[in-house]
Amino acid sequence: MKYSQYPYKRIDVKSIEKEVKSMIKNFNTAISSDEQIIIIEKYQKIQKEYYTYSSIANLNFSRNTKSKKAIDENNFYDQISPEISEIDNLFTKAIDASIFKKELEEKFGKHFFNLISMELKSFDPKLVPLMKKENELKNEYRSLLASAEIKYKGKILNLTGLSPFMQDTNRKTRKDAYKLLDNFFEKNKNKLDEIFDKLVHIRNKKAKALKFKNFIELGYLNMNRSDYGPKEVEKYRKQIVKYIVPLVQKINKKRKAILGYDDMFIYDTLYFKEGNPKPKGGVNFQVKQAIRMYTELSKETKDFFDMMVNEELMDLDNRSGKSGGGFCTSFPSLERPYIFANFNGTDHDVTVLTHEAGHAFQGYQSRKQPVNRYLWPTYEACEIHSMSMEFLTWDWMHLFFKEDTDKFLFKHIAGSLAFLPYGALVDHFQHWVYENPEATPKSRKTQWLELEKIYQPGKKYDDLEFLKNGGFWQKQAHIYEMPFYYIDYTLAQICAFQFWIRMQENKESAWNDYINLCKAGGSKSFLDLVKLANIKSPFDSKIFKEVAEKIDHWLEKNTI
């Protein structure tokens, strides 16, 4: 069955509520753990059906944000999702209060109850109206960015369509493209400020309603972080400042010399004077190469990617009205993942394809996990699969880049390294935002610029006024849509770098550990999954230093 043939409907919330309340009654009067397990398993099927239809509605909206039908269906599921959370909260409370808790823990694992504990702390029915409003604002932001219609060189482009021009070999073309982006955000700055201001206040209200000091603690609970908190993350960010920021400055100094510039600005995105490497073909070419790559990588990846292609479970073209970015979603009742991306002819096409394929591969490998909470791990663990897949496929990059393969590999490592300070900057900024929920839009932008001096010293915007005045963060969708989801990428990147190191030492061992990690899904916490994969915690300063030194050595040895 292809994606276009998938069944879809609006679920009846009242009917589900009635059925679940009956199940809870039977659960509470069950005389054995076996009876309760049967009821839990039945509830998983109800949840899967909801998640599947909701995912289809959200995906169809992302594929065409201008379609009235897609907008209506996405709005329907956005409106009922808080009500579904309320129903789920009732069932979760019943599980937590079970007299057979010990037996249930033996069946589903300790982490099952860790997740339940965090969910119960982070939800209350009185949050439902605030959650609905929050969903509306997030969609407003997405639609605003997707509405961009920018005239350039005889074409009408969306924001993603500007990307190839931002990497053009002609410096003026790059600057012009950034200027157009800057103009779009400048034109919409009041609306962007208004949406974010409302989101911050709604999130702060949610936290206060649950008796938290501010949204930070609630934000961490929403991310299901059970084995570290803000203090550990703060120390981790300092490691990035200590070990990674100097390396990135070193790389930028080399780039400056290669490009022959006295000053480098934000639009100076090139690593090589003759231009950044590009894949040697468009979407069809790249999918063809990916088929060969995943066929040769392993039997598991062959079966997985053949399915993705044959069942049309990818949307990779960039087009008008399509939501920006790339992501992986899934349809749990059908046991299928889906890859969404916006190819634009840059090397990012290949990294986003392998990245999202890493997510999809994990989702497919762990599709038989016994409870829905285990189908996906927490976000920082999810990103290990995706970022590691980028490196695990290095031996096949010549299929995409041919004579420019070495340039791609150099840019990939250097770019991955350069991302770490930016990821830490986004996280530090979000902590400040929610520590200061009454801050004005202007003071938020001022704070962003102050933090840039720490994490991205020397960053220059030339005369791009919106970006120059501290607005760069407003194009980072995660800050609007998924608060505190960003440091996750950097934590996973340190783990992925370890897989990259291990692949150079023993490919078979590294791949087997990667497969085991994928199959485990979300059955363990982040740090326990790291142990399972036989890699070290990114919070360990020793491994952090070791990774930084090995990458520095590789970059020195492989300078193009």
Among 335, 328, 290, 330, CA closest to 309: 290
Residue 120 belongs to some domain of the structure: no
519: exposed, middle or buried (C-beta count within 10 Å: 0-12, 13-18, 19+)?
middle
9: exposed, middle or buried (C-beta count within 10 Å: 0-12, 13-18, 19+)?
exposed
The number of domains in the chain is 1
Instruction: Name residues whose C-beta falls within 8 Å of residue 110's C-beta, 6 or more positions apart in sequence.
Output: none
**C-alpha–C-alpha distance, residues 384 and 493, integer Å:** 7
The encoded tokens of residue 518 equal 């994928």
| Residue 26 belongs to domain spanning | 3-108
Among 274, 501, 259, 284, CA closest to 404: 274
User: Which H/E stretch holds residue 285?
Assistant: helix 283-297
Among 448, 495, 494, 440, CA closest to 470: 448
What pLDDT sits at residue 559? 76
Tell me the backbone φ, ψ of residue 537, rounded to 5 degrees.
Answer: -65, 135
Residue 136 belongs to some domain of the structure: no
What pLDDT sits at residue 425? 98
What pLDDT sits at residue 324? 86
What pLDDT sits at residue 558? 87
User: What letters, b where the CB count within 10 A reaches 16 and e where it falls short, cover 388-417?
Assistant: bbbbbbbebbebbbeebbebbbbbbbbbbb
Residue 73 belongs to some domain of the structure: yes
Calculate the CA 178 to chain-centre distance: 24
User: Which H/E stretch holds residue 331?
Assistant: strand 327-331
What pLDDT sits at residue 180? 97
Angle between the N-to-C axes of helices 487-505 and 405-435, in degrees from 0 to 180, rounded to the nearest 10: 150
Query: Which own/partner pairs from 145-148 qualify as long-range (CB within 8 Å, at least 24 positions apart)?
Result: 145/323, 145/324, 145/475, 145/477, 146/65, 146/321, 146/322, 146/323, 146/324, 147/65, 148/184
The encoded tokens of residue 302 equal 């062959």
> In whole angstroms, how far apart are CA 413 and each of 80, 130, 169, 417?
43, 42, 21, 6
**C-alpha–C-alpha distance, residues 3 and 336, integer Å:** 10
Residue 99 belongs to some domain of the structure: yes
Q: What is the DSSP string of 440-488?
A: -HHHHHHHHHHHHHHHSTT---TT-HHIIIIIGGGG-HHHHHSTT-SHH
The encoded tokens of residue 467 equal 């970006």
Cα within 13 Å of Cα(78), Cβ side: 20
User: Which H/E stretch holds residue 343?
Assistant: strand 336-343
- In this structure, are residues 340 and 328 in contact, taking their beta carbons and an 8 Å threshold? yes
Instruction: Name residues whose C-beta falls within 8 Å of residue 199's C-beta, 6 or more positions apart in sequence.
Output: 134, 137, 138, 480
The encoded tokens of residue 90 equal 């009732």
**C-alpha–C-alpha distance, residues 392 and 412, integer Å:** 13
Q: What is the DSSP string of 127-165?
A: GHHHHHHHHHHHHHHHHHHHT--EEETTEEE-TGGGHHH
Residue 69 belongs to some domain of the structure: yes
> In whole angstroms, how far apart are CA 226 and each of 85, 90, 265?
20, 22, 40
When computed from its CA atoms, the radius of gyration of the chain, rounded to whole angstroms, is 23
Tracing tokens 């501010």 back to the chain, one arrives at: 214
- In this structure, are residues 273 and 258 in contact, taking their beta carbons and an 8 Å threshold? yes
**C-alpha–C-alpha distance, residues 419 and 417, integer Å:** 5
**C-alpha–C-alpha distance, residues 547 and 560, integer Å:** 21
Residue 27 belongs to some domain of the structure: yes
Residue 148 belongs to some domain of the structure: no
| Alpha-helical runs (H) found in 64-127 | 68-96, 101-108, 110-122
Residue 363 belongs to some domain of the structure: no
The encoded tokens of residue 105 equal 């823990």
The encoded tokens of residue 261 equal 């510039």
User: Which H/E stretch holds residue 489?
Assistant: helix 487-505
Extract the residue ranges of the chain whose pLDDT is less than 70: none
The encoded tokens of residue 55 equal 């995912």
Judged by phi (left if over 0) then psi (alpha if -120 to 50, else beta), residue 335 lies in: left
Bridge partners, residue 175, by sequence: none
**First-to-last C-alpha distance (Å) of the chain:** 46
Tell me the backbone φ, ψ of residue 342, rounded to 5 degrees.
Answer: -130, 85
**C-alpha–C-alpha distance, residues 146 and 128, integer Å:** 27
Taking 3-state DSSP, the helix, strand and coil percentages for the chain, each rounded to the nearest 5, stand at 70, 5, 25
- In this structure, are residues 371 and 40 in contact, taking their beta carbons and an 8 Å threshold? yes
